[in-house]
Amino acid sequence: MDALIQLDGVRKEFEVRRRAGLLRRERRTVRAVDGLSFEVARGEMVGYIGPNGAGKSTTIKMLTGILVPSGGRLSVAGVDPSRERTRLARRIGVVFGQRTTLWWDLPLRDSYELVRRIYRIARDRYTANLEACVELLDLAELLDVPVRQLSLGQRMRADIAAALLHDPEVLYLDEPTIGLDVVSKAKVREFLRQVNTERATTVLLTTHDLTDIEQLCRRVMVIDHGRLVYDGGLDGLHAVGESERTLVVDFERELPPVNIDGARAVRTEGPRQWLAFPAAASAAPLVAELAARYPLVDLSIREPAIEDVIARMYGGRDEASRLPG
């Protein structure tokens, strides 16, 4: 595997001081990233998710070199980011969803022109890349508008284009779909898919919208309290997240909650009942048994939503952290 991004036991601690009483100040160390190890191969598109404060943005900042890790080793394209930040900067693209690289008081086109100079992009490359971005991200109407007049979604699309004009090998996206409407989200996703497949750009994508992940990433990493808690395919999440499928059954008449091995009734509403069973188990024996023992009219199966799976993973964290010690 040609690993483009490598992390080995990476840690980042923040010292925070806060007032404790009138004069006393309390020093506390926050472990934002706590022994993180993973690799991302060239050309991969990886989802990087986790609850608020999990350490995602901190990881991305270390990967760009603007934060120095407190420990561990880190390399991007063979370079230690914090040591050679400026050199690496030519080879990476970054989008911080809540911030902008564009110049507030300049028309979009001038911002891009400045980007061309910053990265010293050859004229023909620049023209070709800009044309592609303008078409796919629907920016044509916006090129002569000052950035301060763009809506959030327009600005975000413009920012994504700005991060790709210099053909970066790696693209870090920290919540690139935050605040976008459905149409813009679809456009951005389609664009990212193209960038990843056609230019083989490696993409690390942070988001709270799991649809982004479902539609774009074959691999997903879940981070929590600065630690990697899952790394693998999307479907594998179901097994790890102990997710359940639901059997919705309609009986001929109202019945007390059914009692059946391998499933439990979670809800009853007249003749209809909801039975939960492990997502990894087969539904066939359950259905057979139900049909044999009860007056069955109709049934359907609901797959667990990825949101629920993730929510359960994050939720489990809270319970665990409530334990003493």
Partner 1 sequence: MGVRGGARLYAAVAVRGFRRYATYRVATLAGVFTNTVFGFVVAYTYTALWSVRPRLGGYDLPQAVTFVWLGQGLLMATALLGGGNESELVERIRSGDVAIDLCRPANLQLWWLATDLGRAAFHLVGRGVLPMAAASLVFRLAWPSGVAAWGCFLVSVALGVVVSFAIRYLVALTSFWLLDGAGVLLMAALLATFFSGMVLPLTVFPGWLGTLARALPWSAQLQVPADVFLGRHRGTGVLWALAFQAGWAVVLLGAGQLVQSVATRKVVVQGG
Residue 30 interacts with partner 1 (CB under 8 A): yes or no: no
Residue 64 interacts with partner 1 (CB under 8 A): yes or no: yes
Q: Give which of 233, 221, 242 is closest to 55, Cα–Cα.
A: 221
* CA–CA gap between residue 323 and residue 250 (Å, rounded): 41
**Among residues 5, 51, 57, 155, which is the contact residue for Mg ion, using CB under 5 A?**
57
**Among residues 94, 205, 216, 299, which is the contact residue for partner 1, using CB under 8 A?**
94
Question: Could you say which of ligand ATP, Mg ion, partner 1, none residue 54 binds, taking C-beta under 5 to 8 angstroms by partner kind?
Answer: ligand ATP
Cβ contacts of residue 66 below 8 Å, gap of 6+? 82, 85
Helix (H, G, I), strand (E, B) or coil at 256: coil
Looking only at residues 111 through 140 of this chain, which bind partner 1 when binding is defined by CB under 8 A? Answer: 113-114, 117-120
Residue 104 interacts with ligand ATP (CB under 6 A): yes or no: no
Cβ contacts of residue 68 below 8 Å, gap of 6+? 62, 82
**Tokens 């066939």, residue located:** 284
Q: DSSP for 104-150?
A: TTSBHHHHHHHHHHHTT--HHHHHHHHHHHHHHTT-GGGTTSBGGGS
Task: Say if strands 202-206 and 170-174 run parallel, antiparallel, or are unpaired.
Answer: parallel
Question: Could you say which of Mg ion, ligand ATP, partner 1, none residue 64 binds, taking C-beta under 5 to 8 angstroms by partner kind?
Answer: partner 1
Residue 209 interacts with partner 1 (CB under 8 A): yes or no: no
| Cβ contact 224:54 at 8 Å | yes
CB of 203 to partner 1, least distance (A): 16
CB of 38 to Mg ion, least distance (A): 18
Residue 55 interacts with ligand ATP (CB under 6 A): yes or no: yes
* CA–CA gap between residue 268 and residue 315 (Å, rounded): 25
Q: How many residues bind ligand ATP (CB under 6 A)?
A: 12
Q: Which stretch binds ligand ATP (CB under 6 A): 50-58, 154-162, 247-255, 289-297?
A: 50-58
Residues forming contacts to ligand ATP in the complex (CB under 6 A) are: 14, 16, 30, 32, 50, 52-58
Interface residue list for partner 1 (CB under 8 A)? 14, 57, 61, 64-68, 82, 85-87, 89-90, 92, 94, 96, 98-101, 103, 105-106, 110, 113-114, 117-120
